[in-house]
């Protein structure tokens, strides 16, 4: 490359000039001031040129600046510097220094050597100016290279930081997509497992029964001492027997609605309920009823590991879990709650074949014994059922007179219009119906 050779040439000539005194046995300390300042400038130029030489080798942008062409370096110098060709300055400087060196050598050929004979050579003003100008130019370029290096480092740091930020944003988006996919996959698996436990949804029945409630009815049950004691005390059973038609199912739905409303914001309280129906005995075997309780307690929380394990154990074989497995899993899930309420309506309609009702009663009592669950159950007066709840809190369900009056009052508008125009007749209808109901 021409530029490094030219610079080396200048450095070489400057070094020869400096060495003249040494070779001639002269001490530069004794040199005249003009010679001293000139040699000092040469020394500084040598240092600057050495750095420039290195920059030319490693930095193409510096080469462009060296020739006055557009470059990042020249952008710091301003428009005027774009016309400065440092290579021309180097060549001119070398020419001047060559002339100075030749002059010095010529002067050394005399018989007497001393500064008196040499100092005249250093009066070449043009050569001194070329040395000074070249020195300043190289210093400026070298400093700008340093500035460029800092700017490049800052730019690189900024680019790395922005790149890292962009990568973080990409990673965040990917994580969100992955989480969304995982959540959706987990949700699909959860739904599959819950439906595998049982497809029966008692919530639909609860919605249907509570919608039939006449506003204000059933308060006597909720305000009773028996219900309040059952609600406030752990591991309690409230048994509510009644004759057919006494309103046990509607009152059960009222009790369930009270529980779900009162504890709706407490994740540590589990609520599960069943509506037994003799018309659905084929789908209300003891395993089905226990699975329904398990499903309801499971669906209110993240899928428990014991339920997932139970599903994994049977899914590939396409088998159903045994009552023992369901019971054990139900107790494990119930134990994760601080309190559990289990409500069962119409135990008398639970099938009796194969001892289903007795087994289910045993499961309920074991769940209470192991997990401290509160049980609420209604039934007709069936001997084996009432005997199972001996010693428990008991409250007989009868058609409440005030509830009947509220119900009739809510239906008066459906009677012929002449009834609506006769308040006395309305009162008589209410009174007679209350008498005729007689607790049903």
Between the two ends of the chain, the Cα-to-Cα distance in Å is 115
Judge residue 426's burial from the number of C-beta atoms within 10 Å of its C-beta, 0-12 exposed, 13-18 middle, 19 or more buried.
Answer: middle
Q: What is the pTM of this model?
A: 0.58
Q: Indicate whether 187 pLDDT > 90.
A: no
Angle between the N-to-C axes of helices 248-262 and 202-211, in degrees from 0 to 180, rounded to the nearest 10:
110
* Cα–Cα distance measured from residue 17 to residue 170, given in angstroms and rounded to the nearest whole number: 64
Right CATH for 201-398 from 3.40.50.920, 3.40.50.300, 3.40.50.1970, 3.30.230.70:
3.40.50.300
Do 30 and 116 meet the contact criterion of CB atoms below 8 Å apart?
no
Most confident of 28-37, 273-282, 424-433: 273-282
Lowest mean pLDDT among 138-152, 270-284, 322-336, 344-358: 138-152
Do 429 and 419 meet the contact criterion of CB atoms below 8 Å apart?
yes
Q: Indicate whether 345 pLDDT > 90.
A: yes
Q: Where are the domains of the chain?
A: 2-165, 201-398, 399-440
Q: Indicate whether 71 pLDDT > 80.
A: no
Q: Indicate whether 152 pLDDT > 70.
A: no
Lowest mean pLDDT among 123-137, 170-184, 224-238, 281-295: 123-137
Residue 342 pairs in a beta bridge with 272, 375
Q: What is the pLDDT of residue 116?
A: 62
Do 256 and 212 meet the contact criterion of CB atoms below 8 Å apart?
no
Q: What is the pLDDT of residue 226?
A: 96
Q: What is the pLDDT of residue 399?
A: 74
Q: What is the pLDDT of residue 348?
A: 93
User: Cβ of 339: how many Cβ atoms within 10 Å?
Assistant: 17
* Six-digit token string for 113: 């050597």
Do 412 and 419 meet the contact criterion of CB atoms below 8 Å apart?
yes
Q: What is the pLDDT of residue 248?
A: 92
Q: What is the pLDDT of residue 325?
A: 96
Tens-place pLDDT, residues 128-151? 676 676 667 666 666 655 655 555
């Amino acid at each position: 490359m021409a530029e490094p050779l030219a610079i080396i040439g200048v450095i070489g000539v400057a070094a020869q000039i400096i060495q003249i005194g040494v070779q001639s046995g002269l001490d530069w300390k004794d040199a005249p001031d003009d010679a001293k300042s000139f040699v000092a400038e040469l020394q500084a130029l040598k240092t600057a040129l050495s750095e420039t030489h290195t920059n030319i080798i490693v930095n193409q942008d510096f080469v462009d600046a060296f020739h006055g062409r557009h470059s990042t370096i020249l952008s710091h110098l301003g428009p005027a510097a774009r016309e400065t060709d440092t290579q021309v300055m180097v060549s001119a400087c070398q020419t001047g220094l060559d002339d100075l060196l030749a002059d010095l050598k010529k002067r050394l050929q005399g018989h007497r050597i001393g500064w008196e004979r040499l100092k005249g050579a250093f009066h070449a003003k043009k050569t001194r100016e070329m040395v000074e100008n070249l020195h300043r130019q190289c210093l400026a370029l070298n400093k700008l290279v340093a500035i460029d290096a800092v700017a490049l480092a800052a730019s690189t740091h900024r680019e790395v930081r922005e790149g890292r930020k962009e990568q973080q944003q990409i990673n965040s988006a990917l994580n969100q997509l992955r989480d969304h996919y995982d959540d959706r996959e987990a949700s699909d698996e959860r739904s599959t497992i819950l439906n595998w436990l049982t497809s029966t949804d008692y919530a639909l029945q609860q919605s249907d029964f509570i919608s039939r409630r006449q506003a204000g009815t059933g308060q006597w049950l909720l305000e009773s001492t028996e219900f309040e004691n059952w609600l406030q005390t752990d591991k309690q059973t409230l048994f509510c027997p009644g004759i057919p038609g006494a309103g046990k199912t509607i009152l059960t739905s009222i009790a369930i609605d009270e529980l779900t409303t009162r504890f709706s914001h407490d994740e540590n309280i589990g609520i599960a309920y069943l509506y037994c129906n003799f018309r659905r005995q084929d789908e209300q075997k003891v395993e089905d009823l226990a699975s329904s309780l398990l499903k309801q307690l499971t669906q209110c929380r993240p899928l428990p590991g014991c339920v997932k394990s139970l599903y994994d154990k049977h899914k590939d074989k396409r088998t159903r879990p045994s009552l023992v497995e369901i019971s054990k899993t139900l107790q494990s899930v119930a134990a994760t709650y601080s309190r559990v309420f289990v409500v069962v309506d119409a135990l008398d309609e639970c099938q009796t074949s194969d001892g289903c009702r007795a087994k289910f009663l045993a499961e309920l009592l074991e769940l209470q014994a192991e997990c401290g669950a509160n049980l609420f159950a209604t039934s007709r007066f069936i001997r084996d059922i009432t005997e199972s709840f001996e010693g428990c809190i008991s409250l007989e369900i009868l058609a409440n007179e005030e509830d009947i009056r509220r119900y009739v009052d809510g239906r008066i508008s459906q009677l012929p219009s002449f009834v609506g125009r006769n308040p006395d007749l309305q009162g008589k209808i209410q009174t007679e119906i209350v008498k005729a109901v007689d607790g049903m």
